[in-house]
Amino acid sequence: MSVTITERITTVLRHYEVDLVFGIVGIPIVTLANEFITHGIRFVSCRNEQSASYAASAYGYLTGKPGVLLVVGGPGLIHSLAGVYNSINNRWPLIVLAGSNDHGHDQYRGAFQELDQISLLKPYVKFSGKLTEGNVDHVLFSAYNIALQGTKGVTYVDIPGNLIETQAVCAGTPGLLPPVPQPIKCSPDPHTVKRVASLILENRDKKVLVVVGKGSQGAFAAVRRFIDEFNFPFLPTPMGKGVVPDEHELNVSSARSYALAHAGIVLIMGARLNWILHYAGPPKWNPNAVFIQCDSNGETLGQNNQYHAGLSLFGDIEYTVEALSNELRSAGGGDYRYGGLSSSIQEKIHKNEQRLRDSEHAVPEESSPPHVLNYNRVYGIIRPLLEQDRTVLVTEGANTMDKARVSFPASTPFSRLDAGTNATMGVGLGYAMAAKLSSGAARDVVLIQGDSAFGFSGMELETLVRFQVGVVVMIMNNSGIYHGNGVGLSTKLSEQCRYDVMARGLGCRAHLVTTGEELTSRFTQALRDARANITTVLNVIIEHGSSTQVAFAWQNKPRM
């Protein structure tokens, strides 16, 4: 029996347990999207390829299997490059399927949306392949498998439009498909594990700090056991939150600057020594600190850590933690346990946490009306309304995200999404969509984004409504980028823009919020509605902010 190319693509993807594809249809891929829908693959058609690509990118991260994106060629693929870059830099698995007119007799003649897409993407993705009548099974296996193995990343499949438009048939009889690919894992070098354990045991006077990155999310149980058994203080990166619960007594997030400045031996688990961790150098870090990088990505090891690269532990995070635990038990006589938090850092933590609580009840700036809300007051109001164990919090926007990092604890893995390694604006609604679609009724998804960030992808509210994806969207509206004061400045946006009116027109429930009482009532109802698959937008008016100079907060301002 003959099988068309679109039928075979659908069959292969279903075999690989692909249950959802994001994208936007057009000629020629609309036929393939409809084939997906007919055979049980949910196709979530977004309003912009950029948002669709971000959603597919995050879906791959949250599920642990490649997200799949389907777009038209030419400009459609170009629009989706934002998500491609996002997945590459965050090391998330993504398969991009795109139609193309790079084929046959029309090639080089100015064909419809003609673009040599293979050449465009090949230098950056892990695999790129063009489908023919005879290679569908091989190319799709390669795309799925390579996206998962080693450093997770992006693969690209080019689908010539004539294969779809002519209902081309696969050559020969389709064969049996291989098992669903799984990531191949390895353990670290035992000799290096011994060296690291000896370093820790022989330098008991040095302060140990474990930095937990988003690359540890899948190994959360092993990392938690490691922290508990050996009593090591830990610091989560922004998207490493939840691997170990933030409420844990050994969490030093509230004294971050102090912990970095005094650490002597630093175990980096699933994080990079990039801008987020200040390149492992002074003035943020102790200049004499020894960094031990634990990662399944070999290219990461030694980056900004040239002098101690030989102590790196290359391997799966779970296997690495278990191997190091076994060696610490063996070489430490079975009773090694670090001293935990010093009295000085405990005092610093207590002081900074009290300062945060005070800020949540502080009066507005002198230039603002007495009742006006600000970031800290808003966060202080909604935090107790969240069921922390079932909430995925997505944050986007410079001040919005930066302040939320210290205001909202996370206690479960994969419960925090933000702008990530690239500090990308525009990801919010796509990420929220992916978070809800990957977790279903088990999780509440709350998106908190600045008014500037909302502008990148606001039309995706209609997508949430159309697919009945219940999310709470809270827009922190300070009428500007970073701050909303200063008429005529490049950072100024429309004063108290009515995003709630726009959202209502797109089918959401939406409210303008100007007081704490309104926020409590509206947010509580929005959570209930989200569980009934209804999206609510809260347009929260906050003070402009007093900054007159835009600065890179994460790098420049004093941290706790």
Rounded distance, CA 544 to CA 486, Å?
A: 9
| pTM of the predicted protein model | 0.94
Residues 334 and 442 in one domain: no
How many Cα neighbours within 13 Å face the side chain of 260?
A: 24
pLDDT at 214: 96
pLDDT at 357: 83
Residues 309 and 374 in one domain: no
Q: 493 in a domain, yes or no? A: yes
Range of the domain at 547: 360-556
Give the CATH number of the domain where residue 282 resides: 3.40.50.1220
Rounded distance, CA 303 to CA 273, Å?
A: 7
> 62, 435 in Cβ contact below 8 A?
yes
pLDDT for 35-68, tens place per residue? 999 999 999 999 999 999 999 999 999 999 999 9
pLDDT at 279: 96
Residues 49 and 153 in one domain: yes
Residues 146 and 215 in one domain: no
Q: 354 in a domain, yes or no? A: no
Residues 416 and 552 in one domain: yes
Q: Identify residue 127 by its one-letter amino acid code.
A: F
Classified as helix, coil or strand, 58 is helix
Residues 214 and 118 in one domain: no
| Other beta carbons less than 10 A from residue 224's beta carbon | 19
Rounded distance, CA 364 to CA 360, Å?
A: 10
The three-state DSSP-derived secondary structure of 289-358 is CEEEEEECCHHHCCCCCHHHHHHCEECCHHHHHHHHHHHHHHHCCCCCCCCCCCHHHHHHHHHHHHHHHH
Rounded distance, CA 544 to CA 559, Å?
A: 22
- Interacting residues of 519 by C-beta distance below 8 A, sequence separation 6+: 373, 378, 381, 382, 513, 538, 540
pLDDT at 559: 47
Q: 376 in a domain, yes or no? A: yes
pLDDT for 412-422, tens place per residue? 999 999 998 88
Asked if the model's pLDDT at residue 497 lies above 80, the reply is yes
Rounded distance, CA 372 to CA 541, Å?
A: 8
Q: Is residue 553 very low, low, confident or very high in pLDDT (cuts 50, 70, 90)?
A: low
Q: Is residue 372 very low, low, confident or very high in pLDDT (cuts 50, 70, 90)?
A: confident
What the block records as the tokens of 208 is 């140990």
Residues 420 and 488 in one domain: yes
Q: Exposed (0-12), middle (13-18) or buried (19+): which is 306, by Cβ within 10 Å?
A: exposed
Residues 336 and 371 in one domain: no
Mark which of 313, 343, 373 sits at the end of a domain: 343
Residues 216 and 80 in one domain: no
What the block records as the tokens of 228 is 């508990």
pLDDT at 558: 44
pLDDT for 316-330, tens place per residue? 999 999 999 999 999
pLDDT for 80-99, tens place per residue? 999 999 999 999 999 999 99
| Residue 448 bridge partners (DSSP) | 395, 474
Q: Are strands 234-236 and 42-45 parallel, antiparallel or unpaired?
A: unpaired
List of E strands, 498-535: 509-513
Residues 56 and 128 in one domain: yes
Over range 19-23, report the average pLDDT. Answer: 98
Rounded distance, CA 191 to CA 46, Å?
A: 50
pLDDT for 252-290, tens place per residue? 999 999 999 999 999 999 999 999 999 999 999 999 999
The percent of residues in the chain predicted with pLDDT above 90, rounded, is 84
Asked if the model's pLDDT at residue 135 lies above 60, the reply is yes
- Nearest 5 degrees, angle CA 409-CA 209-CA 295? 90
Q: Is residue 551 very low, low, confident or very high in pLDDT (cuts 50, 70, 90)?
A: low
Over range 532-558, report the average pLDDT. Answer: 76
Give the CATH number of the domain where residue 504 resides: 3.40.50.970
What is the side-by-side strand order in the sheet with 20-23?
A: 42-45, 20-23, 67-71, 94-100, 154-160, 127-130
Rounded distance, CA 15 to CA 7, Å?
A: 12
Domains held by the chain: number: 3
Over range 505-520, report the average pLDDT. Answer: 98
pLDDT at 555: 53
- Interacting residues of 29 by C-beta distance below 8 A, sequence separation 6+: 23, 70, 71, 72, 97, 98, 99, 159, 164
Q: 179 in a domain, yes or no? A: no
- Interacting residues of 409 by C-beta distance below 8 A, sequence separation 6+: 241, 245, 246, 247, 388
Q: Is residue 113 very low, low, confident or very high in pLDDT (cuts 50, 70, 90)?
A: confident
pLDDT at 102: 60
Mark which of 116, 150, 165 sits at the end of a domain: 165
pLDDT for 149-176, tens place per residue? 999 999 999 999 999 998 999 987 788 9
Q: 428 in a domain, yes or no? A: yes
Q: 174 in a domain, yes or no? A: no
Residues 339 and 365 in one domain: no
Of the candidates 480, 468, 408, the residue with the CA atom closest to the CA atom of residue 433: 468
Q: For the chain, give the number of residues.
A: 560
Q: 112 in a domain, yes or no? A: yes
Q: Considering the chain, what is the average pLDDT of its residues? A: 93
Q: 182 in a domain, yes or no? A: no
Residues 94 and 229 in one domain: no
Over range 98-122, report the average pLDDT. Answer: 84
Mark which of 312, 343, 374 sits at the end of a domain: 343
The percent helix, strand, coil of the chain (3-state, each to 5) is 45, 15, 40
